Chain A
Amino acid sequence: MSESVESTSKPLGAEAVDLESFYRASRFLSAILDIDELLKAILEEGLDAVRGTRGFVALVNRSTGSLDLRITAGQGWDQHPVRAIPITDRPGAGITIWVVCQGVPYVTGDVRRDPHYIMFFPDVRSELAVPLVNRDGRTIGVINVESEQIDAFSHRDLQLLLALANQAAIAISMANYRAREAALIEIGNELSSSTDSDELLRLVVKRSASLLRADDCSLFQLSPDGSRLILRASGQMLDHRVGTSTYQVGEGLTGWVAEHGAPVRLANVREDPRWRGLYPELPPEAIEAYMAAPVFQRSGRKGDMWGVLRVVRRKPANSILRNDFTERDEQLLTTLARQVGAALMQHALMERQVQMERMAAWGEMSARSAHMIGNKVFALKGQLNELEYLASRPEFSPKEVVDVVERAKQGVFRLEEILNEFRDFLMATHLDRKPTDLNELLLNTVHEGFPKGGPVKLEVRTAERLPLIAADGGKLRRAISELLENAVNHQLEGGEVHVVTGVWGPAEREAYPQIPFRAGAEREGAAVRLEVWDRGPGIPTENKERLFTPFFTTRSKGMGLGLSIVKGIVDAHQGVIGEVGRHGEGAHFIIVLPALRPESEGQPPQGQQP
């Protein structure tokens, strides 16, 4: 009959009960942080208040297009196998699905007479289902309660459950915010600790797609003259076009973003006059939603624009579910873009610094090389002068000639040595990197290079299960050999060399604060170390600062390029080398190299298509 009759037929105490339920539920909201726990509490509270037999909370899964049972309460669930129901607007899909599609509640007093009902449990007579609706007005789930009684649920019960559903929807929103916030911070850390620029860009597109629940993400960079956008990284679909696909600034939606320095968010791309359809990740009819934001370095001014970050969502298999980007998604993308900009800028600064150090080393090297080569050529001219003299004499002595020629050969030999060191210095930074096992590389180097049975004893200790590194095997071997050779040459009467490999993490950083390796060392397995130490004389304190500069040598032989070459090789691997020994107790070198990130270990970018 009419609602008002029903409501007055309930005892007055019922209102108080309702309020109490509501009060308890709102306290859950602030007290319980775990979303599953919270939903369970709300469900149980609701079930109790409306006196239902059993109930569930189910959430919409937009990726699979199904309704996933998340929380259950009441009896009989262990026998029930179904955990996900495909969402469809075809008739006969059940009450719960109907509620999801319509976005309005449904109550029935007798399911056996109801057109929508699909049986899950045989004893059900009454059913009440209310949608969970978020702030954007989208149905994100359902709370469903059942009873074996006929007409068990009143209008008041419906209202109560609606109020609880509201709470639940708020709780879910908040949980999502927290998750996104945490993800943003995590991404921020990751980006700022990444050392390789290609890896950084790949990380950006992957994390962006995952954070925004997008099907693909592409990153475009402005050309130096600011006239074009070039594709620099792709989550997957435009991978083959990296480096070639180009938009003129102002061309297409992406070009518009670059021109105006403002984000764009659309559901139907083809209806927009700016759409050009040049390089979409998906065919336009398959695009459910499109969003792009400018990436700024430093301030938000146009002159500081680095490029454009773009994400798309595919139309879901289930067309009833809308999957477009919300305003909140846009805010998230903008925040992410800002983080990306900051990370890129920091990366550029670091690279510039390394380059400047390199150039300074070059300058010094060139000047000294000219000096050394000049002297050796001068000496060679002396030999030629002598040969000329010998040849001019009537009494020609072959032995004298042979003598001079021998000395000339020595001179040329020394010139070639200089040439080789010069080349090593040049080539130290040209790397051909592959995933490498540091332990294996070390053992090979030692096996081939270290003089066995000599006066210097070698001890090698390798850590188990060292993460792989991206290394140029030849160059790294050269670097290690140089250190070993130095150790041997400073202990000609006999001594020891120790080589150790292991991880580099917070403990090591604390032990050796002089080693300036930053890159995300908070992460486990983010970096590896190689130590070489001996019991030789060690490095005098006054020499430590210039140890790795070119031409620094305390020996009479050699150009003193060795350690600067080692540093060049380590730098080019985005690593760090330092010396931490004490004068009189031996030299102690530590090399720290970033490990290959597990996701990028030779795997192609993942495709999530079912």
Chain B
Amino acid sequence: MYRILVVDDEDEVRDAVGRRLRREGYQVDQAGSHEEGVEAIRRAEPPYDLIVTDMVMEDPQSGVRILETALSRDIFSEVIVLTAYGNVGNAVECMRRGAFDYVEKNIPGVDVYELLILKINQAMERRRMSIQALRRYADIARQEHIEMPGRNPTDG
């Protein structure tokens, strides 16, 4: 089952998101600041499949920091950014740097939790397909006796 890290400095936000994700069957860890989040990402073994993070915590660049850490730990990590009204610009910046998508917390009339689940599923699907593609290349390389650089995804 997928392992997800939820990073947000508000207790109630972490709780609410955590509950919804667990209901979906995901295994959820929480971090209350971007420093905690960075620490958790680095120490996680194996790395998290997906990270849901707030945009602004200790500083306006919190979301970006989490994204950078996650991607440097595992290229196949997917990150979904939570943003409040007015922070869309920053969120778009995150997406350019590799986040999967952003979700606004306060869109009137929208059930953000269902939207989040939808996006998580999409993100996991993309991840699955990325890994699958890489495996196929690795198999081909083996058959053709071509050296593939870096870690082999079939190695565990």
Contacts and interface: CB of A to CB of B under 8 A. Distances in A.
Q: A and B: partners?
A: yes
Nearest to B84: A374
B16 A383 contact: yes
Interface in B89-124: 105-106, 111-114
Contact of A379 (B13, B23, B111, B114): B13
Contact of A382 (B20, B84, B85): B20
Nearest to A556: B11
Interface in B71-94: 84-86
B19 interface: yes
B15 interface: yes
Nearest to B87: A371
A376 B113 CA distance: 14
Interface residues of A, number: 17
B12 A375 contact: yes
A381 B12 contact: no
A393 to B, nearest CB: 11
A378 interface: yes
Given A382-B19, A389-B23, A375 B113 contact: no
Given A378-B13, A379-B13, A379-B16, A385 B111 contact: yes
A377 B113 CA distance: 13
29 contacts: A370-B84, A370-B85, A371-B84, A374-B85, A374-B105, A374-B106, A375-B10, A375-B12, A375-B84, A375-B105, A376-B12, A378-B12, A378-B105, A379-B10, A379-B13, A381-B111, A381-B112, A382-B12, A382-B19, A382-B20, A382-B113, A385-B111, A385-B114, A386-B19, A386-B20, A389-B23, A407-B15, A411-B12, A414-B12
Nearest to A373: B106
The B contact surface, by secondary structure, is helix
A396 to B, nearest CB: 16
B17 interface: yes
Closest CB pairs A-B (n = 6): A382-B16, A379-B12, A378-B105, A385-B113, A375-B10, A379-B16
Interface string A424-446: 00000000000000000000000
A385 B12 contact: no
A64 to B, nearest CB: 74
Contacts of A381: 16, 111-113
B102 to A, nearest CB: 14
Most buried by B among A370, A371, A375, A383: A375
A378 B85 contact: no
Interface in A380-414: 381-383, 385-386, 389, 407, 411, 414
B112 A378 contact: yes
Contacts of B113: 381-382, 385
A291 to B, nearest CB: 61
A407 B17 CA distance: 14
B105 A382 contact: no
Nearest to A381: B112
Contacts of A386: 19-20, 23
Contacts, number: 49
Contacts of B112: 378, 381
Given A370-B86, A375-B10, A411-B12, 15 more contacts: A374-B85, A375-B12, A375-B13, A375-B84, A375-B105, A376-B12, A378-B106, A379-B10, A379-B12, A379-B13, A379-B15, A381-B111, A382-B20, A383-B16, A386-B20
A153 B16 CA distance: 113
A594 B84 CA distance: 44
Interface in A343-392: 370-371, 374-379, 381-383, 385-386, 389
B55 to A, nearest CB: 11
Contacts of A414: 12
Nearest to A404: B19
B17 A382 contact: yes
Nearest to B12: A379
Contacts of A371: 84
A103 B17 CA distance: 101
Interface string B37-71: 00000000000000000000000000000000000
Contacts of A385: 20, 111, 113-114
Interface in A35-78: none
B87 to A, nearest CB: 10
A371 B106 CA distance: 10
A383 B113 CA distance: 10
A388 B71 CA distance: 36
Interface string B1-21: 000000000101101110110
Contacts of B10: 375, 379
A279 to B, nearest CB: 55
A386 B105 CA distance: 16
A380 to B, nearest CB: 8
B23 A378 contact: no
Q: Which of A377, A378, A386 has the most chain B CB atoms closer than 10 A to its own CB? A: A378
Contacts of B13: 375, 378-379
Nearest to B17: A382
Interface string B114-154: 10000000000000000000000000000000000000000
A376 B86 CA distance: 17
A561 B67 CA distance: 33
Contacts of B19: 382, 386
Contact of B16 (A370, A374, A378, A389): A378
Nearest to A385: B113
Contacts of A411: 12
Contacts of A377: 106
Contacts of A383: 16
B54 to A, nearest CB: 9
B53 to A, nearest CB: 14
A417 B21 CA distance: 29
Contacts of B114: 385
Interface in A541-589: none
A126 B17 CA distance: 114
Contacts of A375: 10, 12-13, 84, 105
Nearest to A383: B16
Contacts of A407: 15
Contacts of A389: 23
Nearest to A384: B111
Contacts of B23: 386, 389
A383 B10 CA distance: 15
Interface in A473-514: none
